[in-house]
Structure 1
Amino acid sequence: MLTASQIDRWLQEDIGHHDVTNDVRGETTGRLVAKESGVAAGIDAAGAVFDHLGVNIDREVADGDSVDAGETVLTTSGPARETLRAERVAVNLAGHASGVATKTREAVERAAEVASDVRIAGTRKTTPGLRGIEKRAVVAGGGDTHRLDLSHMVMIKENHIAEMGLETAVKTFRERASFATKIEVEAESAEQAKRAAAAGADIVLLDNMTPAETEETVDALSDADDAGDVLTEASGGIALNDVADYAATGVDIISMGSLTHSAPSLDFSFRTG
């Protein structure tokens, strides 16, 4: 949920201390228009910026809707000065979020062509201050948010294993965590993945494995008597062109940091009058 103070910080960053350019009187109308096709996201956030400055808004599409080039996604009416001051922040938010949603949708569709039940997930590789918007954009594109912050799941990574040992780390964090908190363990080999499952991990993250290595590990866990119902997640430098190959391995989740840290913005423009 956006707060007034967050919007104020965005506006202050863009307006500065002496805005001469946008010191315009009177009333005006405006349209936020997609200049290329994609998946809309961040429309509520863009609208909130205008609303914060007393500009009336009407949303023409919802987050998750497909949009075509030339399509209006948001209309405004109100004071010209405030409309122009909100414009750039709103366009940046919608463009960035829609870029994340568009890339996520493409990854989801590529995976679905191979396996209908594999999930595409984001990561915590988000822009500071924009995690909420970026995570919502992943959902708008059909993806899964993964954990929102460190409190949502225990993830035992290579540094924890190096310091504590795999089995000790799982036991220790299981004792500290709530019964509702899942534990995920990062594994770099099929043998380590089997150890993690046997130790009681709910999810095993197959870190930086090739599709062939991922499939081998998924099969090994399926054959292990003590693996239980452990979920498997492929992660580590996975690009759009790799998604189908990983989806074919039988893995449950494919997580992609590139959904948020490398998605190109969808091109929007704002037109008044």
Structure 2
Amino acid sequence: MLTDADVERWLREDVGHHDVTNDVPGETSGRLVAKEPGVAAGVDAASAVFDYLDATVTERVADGTAVDPGDALLRVAGPARAVLRGERVAVNVAAHASGVATRTDAAVEAAREVDPDVRVAATRKTTPGLRGVEKRAVAAAGGDTHRLDLSHMVMVKDNHVAELGLTEAIERFRERASFATNVEVEVEGPDAAARAAAAGADVVLLDNMTPAETAAAVERVAAADGDALTEASGGITVEAVPDYAGTGVDVISMGGLTHSAPALDLSFRTGGDG
């Protein structure tokens, strides 16, 4: 949840202690404009910046809206000093979030062309302090947020297995977690995937496998425990999504949706509609 404290921190970072640049009298209006096609996101966060500065957002598109060059994501009016002070922070947060949404949209569409039921999910590879903004951008574009923090699901990784053994690790964490919390087990091959499913994993994470290995692991998991979900992960690009979507996997998770999506090119213009 975005708070006033978040917005204040963003503005303090940008405005500093003695802003002469934006000390402009009078009233003005402005608009946040797309310079390339994409999917809008972070518009709520950009609006919150102007609201905090007592400028009025008069019009805005919903997050998840497809935009073309020249389209306005939001329009704002108010004291020139407030509008100009909020401009750069609003542009930065919306451009970043819209980049995340645009990449997510591309991945979701690539997956759906092969398998309409496969989910494309983000990961916890997010920018500290901006996870909420980035996860909302993923959701706005039709992606799955995955776990929002460590409390949402238990993840049994290779280090846990090395220390405790696969079965003991699953049992240990299941005893300590709520009945409503799933246990996911990370594996690196089809044989290990089958063992994890048989040991009681709710979700089997197929890490750094090729599409062929992923397909084999999906079959092994189904044979061991038909109720366990399968998730493919590990450096999967948008270009590779169709290959993984065709393996029968339930989820494709991609750190690149958040940690390396390029910002959508946006600009802020004041005055008329030119």
TM-based fold match above 0.5: yes
**TM-score normalised by length of structure 2:** 0.98
Match of 2:175 in 1: 175
- Taking the aligned partners of 1:164 and 1:23, their CA distance within structure 2 comes to 62
Note if contact 2:41-2:137 (Cα within 8 Å) is conserved in structure 1: yes
Match of 2:185 in 1: 185
**TM-score normalised by length of structure 1:** 0.98
Match of 2:72 in 1: 72
- Taking the aligned partners of 1:128 and 1:151, their CA distance within structure 2 comes to 17
The one-letter amino acid of 1:121's match is A
Match of 1:264 in 2: 262
The one-letter amino acid of 1:204's match is V
Aligned pairs, number: 271
Determine helix, strand or coil for the equivalent of 1:115.
Answer: coil
Note if contact 1:41-1:63 (Cα within 8 Å) is conserved in structure 2: yes
Match of 2:241 in 1: 243
Note if contact 1:204-1:231 (Cα within 8 Å) is conserved in structure 2: yes
* Alpha-carbon distance, 1:110 to partner: 0.3
Note if contact 2:37-2:68 (Cα within 8 Å) is conserved in structure 1: yes
Match among 232, 235, 246 for residue 234 of structure 1: 232
Determine helix, strand or coil for the equivalent of 1:241.
Answer: coil
* Alpha-carbon distance, 1:60 to partner: 2.8
* Alpha-carbon distance, 1:221 to partner: 1.8
The alignment yields a C-alpha RMSD, in angstroms, of 0.7
Match of 1:54 in 2: 54
User: Structure 1: which 5+ residue stretches go unaligned?
Assistant: none
- Taking the aligned partners of 1:242 and 1:59, their CA distance within structure 2 comes to 38
The one-letter amino acid of 2:126's match is T
The one-letter amino acid of 1:237's match is G
Match of 2:211 in 1: 211
**Where does structure 1 differ by over 2 angstroms across 4 or more consecutive aligned residues?**
none
The one-letter amino acid of 1:206's match is L
Q: Does 1:140 align with 2:133?
A: no
* Alpha-carbon distance, 1:223 to partner: 2.5
- Taking the aligned partners of 1:112 and 1:127, their CA distance within structure 2 comes to 27
Summarize deviations over 1:220-269 as a string: whole Å, max 9, x none.
22233xx1300000000000111000000000000000000010000111
Determine helix, strand or coil for the equivalent of 2:57.
Answer: strand
Percent identity between the two aligned chains: 69
Note if contact 1:43-1:59 (Cα within 8 Å) is conserved in structure 2: no
The one-letter amino acid of 2:4's match is A
Note if contact 2:188-2:209 (Cα within 8 Å) is conserved in structure 1: yes
Summarize deviations over 1:147-171 as a string: whole Å, max 9, x none.
0000000000111111111100000
User: Structure 2: which 5+ residue stretches go unaligned?
Assistant: none
Determine helix, strand or coil for the equivalent of 2:58.
Answer: strand
Summarize deviations over 1:16-54 as a string: whole Å, max 9, x none.
111111111110011111111110100010000000000
